Amino acid sequence: MPDNRRFLLVRRPDGAPVADDFRLETGPTPDLAEGQFLIRNHYASLDPAMRGWMDDEPSYMPPIPLGTPVRASTVGVVAESRTDEFPVGTWVVGLNAIEEYSVSAAGGFSQAIDPAMVPSPTNFLSVLGAVGMTAYFGYLEVCKPNPGDVVLVTGAAGAVGSLVGQIAKANGASKVIGIAGGPEKCARLIERYKFDAAIDYRGKSLDDLTAAIAAEAPDGVNVIFENVGGDILDAGLNNLAMYARIGLCGLISEYNNAGGKTGARNIWQLIVKRASLTGLLVADYVPRFGEGIAQMAAWMQSGTLVFDEQIDEGIENALPAFLKLFSGGNDGKMILKVAP
Amino acid sequence: MPDNRRFLLVRRPDGAPVADDFRLETGPTPDLAEGQFLIRNHYASLDPAMRGWMDDEPSYMPPIPLGTPVRASTVGVVAESRTDEFPVGTWVVGLNAIEEYSVSAAGGFSQAIDPAMVPSPTNFLSVLGAVGMTAYFGYLEVCKPNPGDVVLVTGAAGAVGSLVGQIAKANGASKVIGIAGGPEKCARLIERYKFDAAIDYRGKSLDDLTAAIAAEAPDGVNVIFENVGGDILDAGLNNLAMYARIGLCGLISEYNNAGGKTGARNIWQLIVKRASLTGLLVADYVPRFGEGIAQMAAWMQSGTLVFDEQIDEGIENALPAFLKLFSGGNDGKMILKVAP
C-alpha cells in the first residue's frame, strides 16, 4: 500500500491555531480488520466547528486527541475492503480526518454516495452534506419560521449562511437580511444569493450595527440564524420582534479568543421580546437527512439554490486553508483537495 | 379629599438607586373624570423589575417618566368613584404607583378582588399576583417541564423562585435544586420550601458554582428557572442536560450595573446541549390568570404551597425597602404598606 500523509494535531491551540500546533506526518496505511474498509480521501471539509474540536473542553464531541489527525468530513473512494457493504470503488462520505487514507467500517460514520447525482462529489461536503443539512434543518426546525417573517442571517456569505438565506426566501420569508464582512461579500449576498439586504459589519460598532439592522428591519426581525456571536449577536438582540426565534448555529467570533468567551450581553432583550435563543446541531437530524438531501437537490436542479465551493489544493495547505474561515478569506464552502 | 403622598422618580439612577433619585411629594388628590375611580392604596408591591422601568431604555414597558410616581402594583380600596363598575369600598389590585391614592378607570389595569378568598389582601400582590403568575406560567409554559426533570431555580429564596421550586415539585420534578445567598436562606429552601438541595452562591467562583451544581445534578439539569444572570447563569449553562430549557425570568445581578451588562458568556453550551434560553414575561398570560389563580389558591389551601411576605411600613421607607431586593435583605415577597 502507498504511504499515508496525515495532518496531526500535536498541541492545543491557544487562540488562533499556528503551524506548531500541527505536524504533517507520513506513515504506512493501516491494516484492515474484518468489516473495515480503507478510504482514499479525495476531499476534506474545512469547517469552523473543527476549531472547537481542537480544544480540551466538554463539547458535543470529544476533543481531537493530540497526536491524531484533525477530524473532518471527507469524501473519497473505497481503495481496499474487508466488507461486502463497501466494495472497492464505492464513493463514500463520512466523518474521518485530514489524511490521505482513512479506515472506516460498516455501521460507522460512512455513507455510500452516488456522485452522478451532482456536478461534483464535493457537493456531498457542501450543499448535500453537513453544511446543507445544518442550513436546512437548523432554519426550518429550530428557527420555526412563519410566512412573512423578516429573517436576519449572520455569517451570511459563509457556507451555511448563504444557504440559509436562500432557503428562507424559498420558504416564504418576506425579507432576508445578511451580515457579512466587506463590500464584495455583501454584493455577492444580493447579486448571487438573492438576499434582500446586506450589511457590512466591518468598521461598525455595536451601535452602528444595531442601527444598520434597524434601518433594514424597522419592525424588528422575527428570526435570526446566528453563526457569529459577539457584537453581531448583540446587535441582533437589540432588534428582535416580539416572540422572535434565534437559532444558534455557531459563534465563530469567539472560537479563537484565548482570552475567554464574549457570549451574549443583551439577553435582557429575550425577556423584553419573549424571544428564544436555541442551540442547534446537525447531528440531531441524521435520521432525516434523506428528506433534506432530496429537497436541497430539487432546489439545486430548479435553480432556487446556488452555492459556492472554494477548493484549496494539497494536504500541506490544510492550515492556511482552515484559517481563511476565520479571516473571511474564503468564497464559499472551504474544501481541501487531499488527493493529488 | 385628603392629601396624597407620592414617591416620585426625579432622576434616572446610575447603578444602584440612591435617595436623590427620588422625592416624596405631598399634593392634592386629583379630580376624577367620568368613568374613573380613586384607589386608596393600602399596599404596594416592590419588585426587581421596577429597577428596569427607572432606566430610559427600550423595554417591555415605557420608562417611568421623570417627575411621576414610581410604577408599582398596588392593592387598595375604591375611595371615590365615577363608574358603576367600581363602587366605593371595592377592593382592587392593579398596576398603579407608589402613592397613597391612584386614579384608575374601568377597562384599565385594575381588577376587583375578594379579600375574603385569602388570609390577607397582600396575597394578591404575591402568590395570587404577578409574582405567583410569573412562577406558575413561567415554569409550566416556558420551561416545558417533563415528569422526572431535574430543575435548577436561581434566586430561589426570592418571591418568584420559592414558588417555582414548590410548583416544580408539585408538577413531578424528580429533584429541585435552589441557589440562594447565605446559609439562612439555603436552610429555608430545604426546610420551608421543600427544595431537595440548596447551593449558597456567596463566596463561590464560577468554577465553584459549576462544581456545586454538578455535584447535585451529575447528569445535568433539564430545566433552569433563571432570575439572576452573571456567574450563576453561566454555571447553570455549564451543567445543562441534553435539550434543556432555560426560562429567563430576570437578571437581577445586572440591573444595578452602571458599567454594562454581563449577559451570558457560556451560550456555546446551548449548542453543545441543543438547549434553549427563552425570555418570559407574565403579561403574556393575563388572559389565563383565572386558571393560574385557581390552581395556586388550591395549592395554598392544600398546604402544597407555602410563601412568605415581608411587609415594610411607610411610603417614606420605599427606597430602603426596594433596595433589600438587591442586597438579599428581604425574607419573602417585598411589600410596602402605604396606608397607615
Per CB-CB distance under 8 Å, the chain A contacts of B248 are 267, 270-271
Domain boundary among A245, A268, A283: A283
Full domain range(s) for residue B222: 130-283
**B234, B173: one domain:** yes
Chain A interface test: which of B277, B280, B284 (most A C-beta within 10 Å): B277
Is residue A218 over pLDDT 80?
Answer: yes
How close, in Å, is residue B266 to chain A by CA atoms?
6
A274 vs B254, B275, B281: nearest CB: B281
Average of per-residue pLDDT across B252-256: 86
Q: How many domains does chain A have?
A: 2
Contact between A271 and B264 using a beta-carbon 8 Å cutoff: no
Is residue A104 over pLDDT 90?
Answer: yes
Is residue B325 over pLDDT 80?
Answer: yes
The answer as to whether A239 is a domain residue is yes
The answer as to whether A205 is a domain residue is yes
Average of per-residue pLDDT across B184-209: 97
**B139, B104: one domain:** no
B270 vs A260, A279, A284: nearest CB: A279
Report the percent of chain A where pLDDT is more than 70.
99
Q: What rounded mean pLDDT belongs to chain A?
A: 95
**A145, A267: one domain:** yes
CATH assignment of the domain containing A86: 3.90.180.10
Local confidence band at B214 (pLDDT 50, 70, 90 cut-offs): very high
Average of per-residue pLDDT across A191-218: 98
**A195, A249: one domain:** yes
**A149, A279: one domain:** yes
Average of per-residue pLDDT across B317-330: 92
**B184, B94: one domain:** no
Q: Alpha-carbon distance B321 to B203, whole Å? A: 25
The answer as to whether B302 is a domain residue is no
Enumerate chain A positions whose Cβ falls within 8 A of a Cβ in B: 52, 58-60, 229, 234, 248-251, 254, 260-281, 284
Is residue B153 over pLDDT 90?
Answer: yes
How close, in Å, is residue B48 to chain A by CA atoms?
13
The answer as to whether B211 is a domain residue is yes
How close, in Å, is residue A75 to chain B by CA atoms?
25
**B37, B116: one domain:** yes
Q: What rounded mean pLDDT belongs to chain B?
A: 95
Contact between A278 and B280 using a beta-carbon 8 Å cutoff: no
Contact between A268 and B254 using a beta-carbon 8 Å cutoff: yes
B279 vs A59, A60, A275: nearest CB: A275
**A111, A163: one domain:** no
Give residue A110's pLDDT. 87
Chain B interface test: which of A252, A276, A286 (most B C-beta within 10 Å): A276
> Of A242-246, B113-117, B180-184, B229-233, where does mean pLDDT reach its minimum?
B113-117
Give residue B259's pLDDT. 65
A248 vs B249, B271, B278: nearest CB: B271
The answer as to whether A264 is a domain residue is yes
Per CB-CB distance under 8 Å, the chain B contacts of A284 are 274
Give residue B22's pLDDT. 98
Average of per-residue pLDDT across B183-210: 97
Average of per-residue pLDDT across B178-193: 97
β-strand pairing of B36-45 with B333-337 = antiparallel
The residues pairing with B7 across neighbouring beta strands, listed in sequence order, are B24
Give residue A256's pLDDT. 81
Is residue B223 over pLDDT 70?
Answer: yes
**B142, B267: one domain:** yes
The answer as to whether A293 is a domain residue is no
Average of per-residue pLDDT across B280-308: 93
Contact between B279 and A270 using a beta-carbon 8 Å cutoff: yes
The answer as to whether B299 is a domain residue is no
CATH assignment of the domain containing B165: 3.40.50.720
Contact between B271 and A280 using a beta-carbon 8 Å cutoff: yes
How close, in Å, is residue A111 to chain B by CA atoms?
24
Give residue A325's pLDDT. 92
- Compare all CA atoms of chain B with the CA of A255 and give the residue at the minimum distance: B268
**B279, B141: one domain:** yes
**A258, A333: one domain:** no
Local confidence band at A54 (pLDDT 50, 70, 90 cut-offs): very high
B59 vs A261, A272, A277: nearest CB: A272
How close, in Å, is residue B320 to chain A by CA atoms?
25
**A7, A80: one domain:** yes
Chain B interface test: which of A254, A262, A277, A286 (most B C-beta within 10 Å): A277
The answer as to whether B295 is a domain residue is no
Local confidence band at A1 (pLDDT 50, 70, 90 cut-offs): low
- Compare all CA atoms of chain A with the CA of B62 and give the residue at the minimum distance: A272
Is residue B265 over pLDDT 70?
Answer: yes
Q: Alpha-carbon distance B76 to B339, whole Å? A: 9
How close, in Å, is residue A279 to chain B by CA atoms?
4
Average of per-residue pLDDT across B238-242: 98
